[in-house]
Amino acid sequence: MQYQKEEVRARILAAALDEFEVHGYLGAQVRRIAERAQVSTGNLYRYFASKDDIFDTIVRSSYARIGALMADAASFCSGSQTRGVKNLASHLAAGIMAVYATHGRQLTIIHEKSAGSKHANFLTTVTDMIHERMRMELAREGIAADDTLVRLVATGFFSGMVTLLRTVEEPARLQELISRMLVFYFEDLEVRLLGTS
């Protein structure tokens, strides 16, 4: 009996993933999720209290993985030795790629289709975390960069990662473009942030 409950729950989540991917949080309907999962709406509510609950369940592991990545990046920035913002960005890019490899659809949904949900600020939240890690590493290097420019680079970096991961399917090409993006954003960044040559 337990197996059947888990199978029903998995069908609901698979149907919900499709529904949120197509319609976003605001346009998703519990009735369509139930139909796609081949359960009654009443039965769906035995497993999940609301559309919010379903959405949270779908994106929770993605959020947890991104949170763990940011905690790891904080550790990367600690210690007595500076590693540089470019190395931090390379570390973050590898981590984001790993999360995307296992949670790509969920990250796309939370990034692009979460309007109206409590996760609508995902891009801002992740950008803030990246910005803070970059700011920490620059401070460790003794660089007092303009905070607005650092935030701009963090925003462009994360948006660029998401765009590349969504649009480039071939792994070697993806790696090449990420490497080029890292050069674009972070090569001699410290010098460029200070406005000196």
* Residue 150 domain-assigned (yes or no): yes
pTM of the model: 0.84
By C-alpha distance, which of 178, 66, 57, 179 is closest to 123?
66
Domain tally, the chain: 2
pLDDT tens, residue by residue, 101-117: 899 899 889 988 999 99
Is residue 76 located within the same domain as residue 143?
Answer: yes
Is residue 20 located within the same domain as residue 94?
Answer: no
Q: Is 47 exposed, middle or buried (0-12, 13-18, 19+ CB in 10 A)?
A: middle
d(CA 153, CA 166): 20
Range of the domain at 2: 1-48
Is residue 36 located within the same domain as residue 102?
Answer: no
Is residue 15 located within the same domain as residue 70?
Answer: no
What pLDDT is recorded for position 192?
A: 85
* Residue 169 domain-assigned (yes or no): yes
Residues of the chain short of pLDDT 70, as ranges, are 1-3, 79-82, 196-197
* Residue 152 domain-assigned (yes or no): yes
